[in-house]
Structure 1
Amino acid sequence: MAPTRNSYLAYKRDTSYLIYWIVQTSNSIIKSLAASDSPVNGIDGAPMVPLTSAGITVAGLVSLSKFVGKHIDSVPSTILALFQSVIEARTATHAAFQQMTARTPDPDVEKSNASHMRFINALKESFDALGGRNWKPNSSPDEPDLLANTEHVKEELDRLLANKFGALEIQRSPEADEASDQEDLQEIHSNVSRQRKQPKPGKGKKGKKGKAKKSSKPKTAPAKEDSESLEGVPLESYRIIQDQDGIVTDYLMAVYDLIKECMTLRNYLQGIWREVAYDGLNSAVAGALSNMAIAMVQRSASEMFVDFPDHDSYETVMNTITRGNVEKAQGMFHVFLMFFEPGSDTPQRKEKQEVDIKEQFLIHAYMDLLDFVTDFQKTRTGKPTKRMLEEIRNWDPNFDLRHATKEERIRWRRSYTINWLYDLVNVFSSIVVQRNTLRGEKHVFEKVDWSPTGPWAQHRRLFGLNEFAGFVTSLAMQKPGTDVRNRILPHHVFQLQCIVDSLTVTRGWSHHLLKGHVVVAPPPSYRFRPRRDVDLFLDREVTRDGRGILQAFDVLEQLFERDGALHGDMRRHAANNEMLEGFHLDYMNWLGESKYMHGLNTIPPSRFSHTNANGLWEYSPFLCGTGLEEGLELAYISGMTIWDRLPEPMMLLHLHNMLVQEGYIEKPVGLFATLQELFPECFFPDGKPPVANYDKALQTMVDNRGSSRERQQVRRVATSAADIHGILNPKVNDFFRKKSTLVILREAGWNIDRIPDADVSFPSVLGMLRITQAKHITDPVTGKKRIEETEITKRAKAMGMSEENMFNMAKTMEVLQATKMKANEIPAERVAHAMAPGYSRFPGRCDPRSTRKARMAAGGECVDFADRDMLDFMKLDIQSDISGERPLSALNFLWTTTYFYTIFMRIEEELEKKRNPLWVRAYKEARGPLAKQKRLSLTLLAMIEQDKECLEVMADIFTNPRAGFLQFIYWDDIEFVAEKVGQDPRPRPRSAASGDVGPDLDQCLVM
């Protein structure tokens, strides 16, 4: 079960855990009663049987809780903690909704609030019936923490049940108790099973209302054991069945929490783009984090709205939270600046601000998208209508935002958004449009599959935004007047907002919850341009010889030609050349700039032509960041594919190791030492460089080529993959199968919870988090706790990490979470902001004080960070991969390959001059298959015969000049992220008291 960091989903999950335990516990009691000497009969005289429904009504919950509480002396602390968590979630939401109607009463909301209060009272009554009134959270280690997300939640619940009822004996002597049991059971079966079809929450302000029919007599369960009837029922099916008001309230909770998540993640990403512009953070890092944040919103929405079919569109979400009137909703929501006094657990309010609904709920972005689609549909020519043109023409990229009014800035941003969307759709649709106009083909625009996996995906038109571009194009190409509002989902609007924010933030304009529009001086142009990092990667103008990937394509192609001539096979590198040519053209034409800037026949010119025909890229840091991220990822997997096909990388690493081990090279050469450290399993058996028998180690690697049936199966799957990412998946390779962090994230759909342990690098921040999430098991013999054996914990132990260190790591992460907002450890100005009505909250998302006490009451491990925190953690791994300590994605494989070829050519040239006998045997006398593998022959001969002259020549070539790893990365340097841990480079407020509050605050967002 993946970790649940979303508040509403946590509430929903906790409720399922709770109902599962109560239903299973009551069934155990009923079976124990039935097995006694005087079985209890139901109202019709038939024996009462265990419950067969995983869903219970609110009244059923109360009845079951009373029944269970009557027969159990001590309810597990974990269950009471679950109950408290659910009650806190509903209470926080009720308080928020009361605040919403305080200024502008709404009969529908007031009615829902009254129903909500009755539900809360029923929860409290059930809680008290189980002993909650006298229960106090403690730190007992006797029960596991079911709220810590593990793969074994149901098993742990079953263990609790087994411990309580494995030897349960019911004391039954008084007849009065028997009569009482009979009444209890009759009430339970009367209340629990009154299921009815759930009405859907109303769209916007009102919804359909229906009355549930009351059962005229208690239902009897089917004549089969509960172990059969409930066997296989998923945990999420255990739930509380509610009436229409309850369902609408649940939907409001989901909507409310989704908006909070969008606000929090948007604020975080604004800070990231500030780092890109003002502090030099690589834009590919920001692109990867943006992809993760968008996936978080998409995942949250899809999981939330699975219970509310046809109510997942952004339009419905907005109509619900604003009650169908944005202007009326303005004033319902407030933000408070909160701080903790030293030693106090009670937050204090410091500052209050009304939330700008249109800005923070992304309504501006939504309306701009909708207006663009509506306008594009009218002609589908790629040109704005006259009316729209009047509004968006002559957008000025140099507009001084500091001296503009709020309304002027919003108009400037709207003009940019619509112009940029026109360019996006025109570029993305260009191949189909030109086929119709130039070739006379008859593609019907509204029926074209514009998705990244559609038939046109083979034509590269964009890096980094293919999916979003395909979505927007599919809306814009519909027939005029087509209503597309139900197709626009919250994550689409969130993504557009992030795209637009990337420009405004890097121009000095961000939006702060407390201070509203914050405008500062933009970064100087010599420090930041949107294409800054893309240009370093490509180096179109060859300003840094031997660094950019475009120049490497040309040089490597020439070396492949020369190598083919050496081995007498000009088709030797045909497959590699074909792949490289395709990537070369894609990078040249569609990354950082496109053919569009030079004009495409029958396609309207760029909307930014009056200032920069390449405005699609030049004015979008987001596109440059996500495009560079994809470019780096493809360069990595294509480079790994080439290395897997060539013998030179493997041979040179083995030769270098032998020369070091035998003393011919005193100090390892930087490039080869780093490659050996980054890719140990790729080069050596078991990842260990040999200290003798060098030829056997090399032969072992060669013999393993293609031997795995699993890899053969992976290859068959890869050949049918929908895109190049799947086709070149490193898993299909024989040797070079290591995945970079970027490759792993894309493969997991940017969802870190879907990354298998086998793919998690170790050491890494994600690896550390996985260790903290590993289950703590009590040894039945010794009584000591130990870490569950997982892929990660096994690898950690293999690297020398003890279980004690793993336990300490989990404690460290807990302390990190628990101290995030302590005033004596974090400056007072770095505080949380909370939304009205106060500091109550959904449980366990941000505040480490109130709900964590309940969550830790059961003992065990609880390391549960919010999505924003997970982005901060993953930022370290992503930055390390792109420009940090382990820069797999920064390695220019093509230039490294050219260097490998250069080394071999120099060795061959020098040995030929000396007429070295090993060279003569390998290059002149070889016969049969070895005649076409001259370099492999030379390498094996050198390892076997250890010819001193040959090895001295090789050592001299390796060390003169010595090559360093940094010579073969795309950037001028790398950043050691570890040195910055604990330091936050983003601009922060200097003094909250003075009102000088920057655009970024640590998040603990509660409405």
Structure 2
Amino acid sequence: MRPKARIRQVPSLSRVSYLWPDSSPAISKKTPSTILRLFRSVIGARAATHAAFQMMVAKNPDPQVAKSNASHKLFIDALNAAFTALGGEAGIEDEAGGTSPHGEDPNVLLLANMYNALSLEGQAGNESGEESDEVAKPSSSAPARRAQPRPGKGKKGKRGKKKQQKVPEPVKESLDDVPLESYRIIQDEEGIVTDYLMAVFDLVREWMDLRHALQGVWREVAYDGLNRAVAGTVSNVAIAMVRQSAAAMFVDFLATTRTRPSLNTITRGNVDKAQGNSTVSLFQLPGDGSAGGAVHHTSVDVKEEFLIHAYQDLIDFIADFQQTRSGKPTRRMLAEIKDWDPNFNLERATNEQRIKWRRAYTINWLYDLVNVFSSVVVQRINQKGERHVLEKVDWSVRGPWGHNRLIFGISEFAADVTTWAMQKPATDVRSRILPHHVFQLQCIVDSLAVSRGWSISVLRGHILTPPARGYRPRRDVDLFLDRVNKRPGHGFLQGADLLQQLLEQPQNRPWNYSAKHTQVTEILMGMMCDFRDWLGESKYMYGLKTIPPSRFSHVDSNGLWEYFPFLCGVGLMEGLELGYLLGTWLWDQLAEVVYTIHLHNMLVQRGYIQQSVGLYASLAEIFPRSFFKDGNPPTSDFLKGLTNLLGPAASRRSTRNRIASQREIAATAGSTVHELFTPDINMLFKDKSLLVALRRANWIPENIPEDDIPITSTMCALRLAATKQATGPAGKPQFEETALIQRMRSTRRGLPGDSNDDRLQQAISSARQLLASDERPVDQAARDAARSLLPEGYTNYTDADAQVDKGRNARQGGVSSKFLLQLVKVDVTTDVCGSVPISALNSVWVTARIFILVMTMEDALEKAENPLYRRIYESGASSHHKRRDLALAALAGDDKDCLRIMAQSFENPRAGT
């Protein structure tokens, strides 16, 4: 039987590492930097965990944790020795320039099993250093099971007994005989594996860091006016990071990534004891490098930092809702959460009072959330007598009720909570609650608490400041929809209503396109009604029959939105997404949009318009690949420019039929509205906004395809910094021809000057400088002074933290989660309310302006009795074909009077400067 791999001594790993260069000519070359980076990330993860648990026992010693730390430190020292033997930091720095001396693909290096030629067993009798012909077979980490006799099985008398083989004597217990994959650091006699503890610590530390970062973002919303959709998007990315980290744990620790086991592990099953063992200190370090001293000590609020309050509130809500499934709290719960006061003075309250106030807020809102999300099914049961078994209803966004848009922005979260709440009484759902669910609920609650001046800091504890003055969570939602028409020409609802009226005009209703025209108007009106009834406000504020009233009706009947900035942020974010998808779909259906942009380009190029009109020039600049072949506006032969884009008529009909078929299949397959209107199956308008690209990537920036990354974004810089390059002839750099590099070569956007290799090299260098800003250099003298303040054998957490940020917590491009979140915030701000606000483009108003322009042109040409216009429009063809023929004839450029009249229509009035 294989001996247990307890940490006594680990010399064998170090010896194998030193043997690496000489063990085989096939692997005698330098250790690849990819392997060294992975090695460093493992050491960093263990060092950070070791440092954290040293700090845990510094104030309240625990013999078991101290014993575990000692064994862990021994293993970390062995790993460091092995890392140094394989090349260490010097090996990584040799390839820091991005050029691999051997030209290997890092992914290939990861998959190539270069360890097969190595053996952990000693090679007695082969001291000459010569190679052995035998290759050690990989062994399983699980102990071999000894075959046991099975009485009553088999046939008697057929075969004689085999001669019993002599069992070899067990070898002396030694780590030299334990395969590398069997190494596990045993923490105590109960067998709690430190590897799992490290993974849980990593997850908890990440959600602590991300929570604090998001509190800062929502504080910007409340106090500095940051757009709510930016904060909502950044929050979604952070939630996805937590979900991704938990999923990575699941690979190694099956069925142990639920919230409850993670919390029990990190607190060692005793929250109160963990509270006493968790402290953080602030040291003052003199500038001369001499030893300073601790100036501040704070006990870490474990229940806050580990999200225990949020988890317990969610569990208690589900248990209470399940008791009656009527949407009303039980008497016991009602006594605890009734009469919640939004203006409660948090500064003067005690910590216990603040927590009770937040708990009442959380549970009241969860009741409203589930009541609204489930209202369609519940009303069918109560009003129509339909039979639906609540615990068996598929509440998911892909289920039979997913097309009802009653909650924007958090449909997945609402579906999960509703599924748990609708189970039979006393159903235990704790095993279904994942860390990202609790983290998302904490973010929802924090968004209001921060606006009321209450935030959490590891070092400072509970921070209390006056509430934000004049803060309205719905501000940006109201600006987007403009229900009361305060800003004519801007609100989505007014624009959709105007466009619907324009499409109903006889000249805009081609007889042979009646089916498509009906589909366009129905979809437009459907989205307008969904936004009007359920975004920012909901029918719930006026009361839903057979559904209990809002838990906030005593202060505001629209409390579901008024008191939840997070919902306003993610709701607006989804509204902008759907508005963009609707716009690109409309433009792909309505050919007038493409005709207008090509006419404007020709009139500017030929001088009929002296200065380009802002709206149409901006559309051409934002969507060059949609309006022009290869993204290049023609400067001559304008008719060919349009026909090259559209292709032959037969091909267009075939493509549109295929697209219609794909959408019909998607509609019957339970696809979400985002998938039904995906730009991927549009004929021309395939570009995606950053919000759309992030959703398709499941909110993980690393998963966005290179074709969808905005060239001027910081995420583009991350990809550029990771671009592999080599030195070509004459010493010039040669870059891997990725999709992103090809896009940057074909356009000048994002690059200063001509898009040649020199400019590309400049862009990549700038991108790598951006990544370097994630480093947190600390003066070496200050580090030495900080180390001098620690007990003997202890590690400075700053050192471990800096090391782990390069490895364990590293994400795309090697940056930390918090830094990546900052980059996402920059890019989303640009996408929503920055210099190129693609997501904020009000496509329904743009489309309405284009139809008004086309109708104005037709009226002017008819009034002038233009011969070209009369020849085409008096031919008896449909209006759709008339407009197409007029655009083609105008692009041919033969009728100057027609072009002059068209130019006047573009400029009177001008749509933009």
Category of TM-score, reference length = shorter chain: 0.7 to 0.9
Aligned to 2:108: 155
Partners of 1:147 and 1:273 lie apart in 2 by 42
Aligned to 1:363: 308
Question: 1:383: how far off?
Answer: 0.6
Deviation string for 1:963-1003 (max 9, x for gaps)? 118xxxxxxxxxxxxxxxxxxxxxxxxxxxxxxxxxxxxxx
From 421, 438, 456, the equivalent of 1:511 is 456
Three-state SS of the structure 1 residue aligned to 2:634 is: coil
Aligned to 2:816: 866
Question: 1:502: how far off?
Answer: 0.6
Count how many residue pairs are aligned between Structure 1 and Structure 2. 843
Aligned to 2:646: 702
Deviation string for 1:275-319 (max 9, x for gaps)? 112222111111111111100000011102321112111111111
Q: Give the alignment of 1:288-687 within 5 angstroms.
A: 288-337=233-282, 351-525=296-470, 528-563=471-506, 567-568=510-511, 573-687=517-631
Question: 1:798: how far off?
Answer: 2.8
Tell me whether 1:883 sits opposite 2:827 in the alignment: no
Aligned to 1:275: 220
Partners of 2:242 and 2:345 lie apart in 1 by 33
Question: 1:256: how far off?
Answer: 0.7
Aligned to 2:694: 745
Aligned to 1:141: 94
Partners of 1:346 and 1:936 lie apart in 2 by 81
Aligned to 2:184: 242
**Does the aligned pair in 1 maintain the 2:18–2:86 contact within 8 Å?**
no
Partners of 2:590 and 2:105 lie apart in 1 by 45
Aligned to 1:64: 16
Deviation string for 1:321-363 (max 9, x for gaps)? 1111111101323334579988989999764422111111111
**Does the aligned pair in 2 maintain the 1:292–1:751 contact within 8 Å?**
yes
Cα distance change on mapping 1:740 and 1:668 into 2, 3 Å: same
Q: Which residue identity does 1:480 align to in structure 2?
A: P
Deviation string for 1:215-253 (max 9, x for gaps)? 9479xxxxxxxxxxxxxxxxxx99454365497111111
Tell me whether 1:193 sits opposite 2:114 in the alignment: no
Question: 1:795: how far off?
Answer: 1.9
- Larger deviation, residues 332-341 vs 89-98: 332-341
Cα distance change on mapping 1:816 and 1:356 into 2, 3 Å: same
Aligned to 1:968: none
Aligned to 2:150: none
Aligned to 1:838: 797
Cα distance change on mapping 1:291 and 1:216 into 2, 3 Å: same
Question: 1:919: how far off?
Answer: 1.6
Three-state SS of the structure 1 residue aligned to 2:193 is: helix
Tell me whether 1:925 sits opposite 2:871 in the alignment: no
Q: Which has the higher contact order (CA 8 A, sep 6+)?
A: 1
- Larger deviation, residues 719-728 vs 573-582: 719-728
Partners of 1:258 and 1:729 lie apart in 2 by 33
Aligned to 2:741: 793
Partners of 1:358 and 1:178 lie apart in 2 by 59
**Does the aligned pair in 1 maintain the 2:719–2:813 contact within 8 Å?**
no
Question: 1:956: how far off?
Answer: 1.0
Aligned to 1:123: 79
Aligned to 1:112: 68
Deviation string for 1:535-586 (max 9, x for gaps)? 1111111111121111122211111111456645665611101111211221
**Does the aligned pair in 1 maintain the 2:509–2:879 contact within 8 Å?**
no
Three-state SS of the structure 1 residue aligned to 2:726 is: strand
Cα distance change on mapping 1:538 and 1:269 into 2, 3 Å: same
Cα distance change on mapping 1:433 and 1:343 into 2, 3 Å: farther
Deviation string for 1:740-791 (max 9, x for gaps)? 1111111110111111111112132211211101123344x66765322211
Aligned to 2:176: none
From 833, 851, 863, the equivalent of 1:913 is 863
Partners of 1:107 and 1:839 lie apart in 2 by 25
Tell me whether 1:89 sits opposite 2:45 in the alignment: yes
Question: 1:892: how far off?
Answer: 1.0
**Does the aligned pair in 1 maintain the 2:509–2:517 contact within 8 Å?**
no
Three-state SS of the structure 1 residue aligned to 2:797 is: coil
Partners of 1:564 and 1:151 lie apart in 2 by 62
Partners of 2:824 and 2:800 lie apart in 1 by 26
Q: Which runs of 5 or more residues in structure 2 are unaligned?
A: 1-8, 146-166, 173-178, 748-753
- Larger deviation, residues 802-811 vs 555-564: 802-811
Partners of 1:891 and 1:349 lie apart in 2 by 53
Q: Give the alignment of 1:797-816 within 5 angstroms.
A: 797-799=745-747, 800-816=754-770
Q: Which runs of 5 or more residues in structure 1 are unaligned?
A: 1-56, 169-174, 200-212, 219-236, 856-860, 966-1007
Question: 1:95: how far off?
Answer: 3.2
Aligned to 1:954: 902
Q: Which residue identity does 2:54 align to in structure 1?
A: Q
Q: Give the alignment of 1:966-981 within 5 angstroms.
A: none
- Larger deviation, residues 451-460 vs 717-726: 717-726
Deviation string for 1:713-760 (max 9, x for gaps)? 965774546111111001111111111111111111011111111111
Cα distance change on mapping 1:807 and 1:431 into 2, 3 Å: same
Deviation string for 1:415-442 (max 9, x for gaps)? 1001000000110111111111112122
Partners of 1:406 and 1:214 lie apart in 2 by 66
Question: 1:494: how far off?
Answer: 0.5
Q: Which residue identity does 1:137 align to in structure 2?
A: A
Partners of 1:116 and 1:215 lie apart in 2 by 31
Partners of 2:671 and 2:552 lie apart in 1 by 34
Q: Normalised by the size of structure 2, how large is the TM-score?
A: 0.84
**Does the aligned pair in 1 maintain the 2:57–2:66 contact within 8 Å?**
yes
Partners of 2:596 and 2:459 lie apart in 1 by 59
Three-state SS of the structure 2 residue aligned to 1:839 is: helix
**Does the aligned pair in 1 maintain the 2:98–2:724 contact within 8 Å?**
no
Q: Which residue identity does 1:68 align to in structure 2?
A: W
**Does the aligned pair in 2 maintain the 1:772–1:806 contact within 8 Å?**
no
Deviation string for 1:367-426 (max 9, x for gaps)? 111111111111111111111111110001111222222222211111100100000011
Partners of 1:154 and 1:480 lie apart in 2 by 50
Deviation string for 1:135-166 (max 9, x for gaps)? 77377636987999x9932434689979x99x
Aligned to 1:766: 715
Deviation string for 1:459-495 (max 9, x for gaps)? 1111001000011111111111111111111111100
Cα distance change on mapping 1:792 and 1:337 into 2, 3 Å: farther
Cα distance change on mapping 1:904 and 1:413 into 2, 3 Å: same
Q: Which residue identity does 1:747 align to in structure 2?
A: R
Aligned to 2:5: none
Three-state SS of the structure 2 residue aligned to 1:777 is: strand
Tell me whether 1:98 sits opposite 2:54 in the alignment: yes
Cα distance change on mapping 1:350 and 1:744 into 2, 3 Å: farther
**Does the aligned pair in 2 maintain the 1:395–1:416 contact within 8 Å?**
yes
Question: 1:364: how far off?
Answer: 1.1
Three-state SS of the structure 1 residue aligned to 2:313 is: helix
